[in-house]
Structure 1
Amino acid sequence: MAIGWRDDLLTGIREIDDQHKELFRRFGDLLTACREEKAAKEVLRLFMFLDEYVISHFNAEERLMLSCGYREYLEHKRQHQQFVRQLEELKRKYRDEGAGLSLVITTNQVMIEWLTRHIEKMDKDIVPFLRK
């Protein structure tokens, strides 16, 4: 799967769309840093950013869901928690194995594909509730 933002992932909610684009950009940066065997300092910097940004983004989405009484809030929040656990596992993999091909594959398969599916299926479902 190619890394990169696709306009078909737009939700129509600017705040959320901008955050999604930033997540894709930063995961792409992480993949590039791993493929090019950049210094550990750069990879760790990207992980630190992603840690904070993912939590901030999920909190923003969850506030929006609560504000409109979104019926699937708890399931959506559960999926966010799952993603955070997967990010923690990715960092563990980096600490244990370094920034090799395995980390690139895992980042692409687990994080980017999950994020894409989540936006397509879960995040877009929120939009009609927010427009009421």
Structure 2
Amino acid sequence: MPIQWSEQYEVGDPRTDSQHRNLFDYANQIEQLIEQARAGRLDRQAVEHLFVFLDAYVNTHFAYEELCMALRGCKVAQKNKEAHNKFLEFWTEFNRQHTPQSISTAALENLHATLAGWLTQHICKVDVALRSTV
């Protein structure tokens, strides 16, 4: 089931909100990749594009968001950085174990579940603290 963006996820910083919406879109694309994999017709080029996006995202978005929180004196800045580091550890290990050419349906399901949980939990419990600083 697609993860729907809603106002509850908005943090009040247009760039951060745009980046979060983009991540929601990619999480939903993983669902499509899972269906393709189950049908035996996985688009490996789309998986490669996903990996490239996630690599860039965890580096650029996390850095930007951490900077925003630090500059605005956000009370959860350290908690946010720790959560980002934990996700980076997951992504690094996932990347070590899987490639776009060899990824399994189960690995895509794991990635989707992790990302969906991250989106709904991290944004709603940590990132929204930016609202009070905007």
Q: TM-score, normalised by structure 2?
A: 0.81
**Number of equivalences:** 130
- Alignment partner, residue 81 of structure 1: 85
**Deviation of the 1:95 alpha carbon:** 3.2
**Deviation of the 1:96 alpha carbon:** 9.8
- Alignment partner, residue 124 of structure 2: 120
Q: Secondary structure at the match of 2:12?
A: coil
- Alignment partner, residue 94 of structure 1: 98
**Deviation of the 1:35 alpha carbon:** 2.6
Q: Secondary structure at the match of 1:95?
A: coil
Tell me how far apart the structure 2 counterparts of residues 90 and 35 of structure 1 sit (CA, whole Å): 20
Higher normalized contact order (CA 8 Å, seq sep 6+, divided by chain length)? 2
- Alignment partner, residue 65 of structure 2: 61
**Deviation of the 1:97 alpha carbon:** 9.5
Identity %: 27
Is 1:45 equivalent to 2:33 in the alignment? no
Tell me how far apart the structure 2 counterparts of residues 70 and 11 of structure 1 sit (CA, whole Å): 12
Q: Which amino acid aligns with 2:115?
A: M
Decide whether the 8 Å contact of 2:12 with 2:130 is kept in 1.
no
Change (3 A) 1:27 1:90: farther
Q: Which amino acid aligns with 2:83?
A: Q
Is 1:33 equivalent to 2:33 in the alignment? yes
Decide whether the 8 Å contact of 1:86 with 1:111 is kept in 2.
no
Stretch of structure 1 that moved more, 29-38 or 94-103 = 94-103
Q: Secondary structure at the match of 2:123?
A: helix
Structure 2: where are the runs of 5+ without partners? none
Decide whether the 8 Å contact of 2:5 with 2:24 is kept in 1.
yes
Tell me how far apart the structure 2 counterparts of residues 99 and 75 of structure 1 sit (CA, whole Å): 32
Tell me how far apart the structure 1 counterparts of residues 100 and 19 of structure 2 sit (CA, whole Å): 29
Q: Which amino acid aligns with 1:26?
A: Y
Stretch of structure 1 that moved more, 114-123 or 64-73 = 64-73
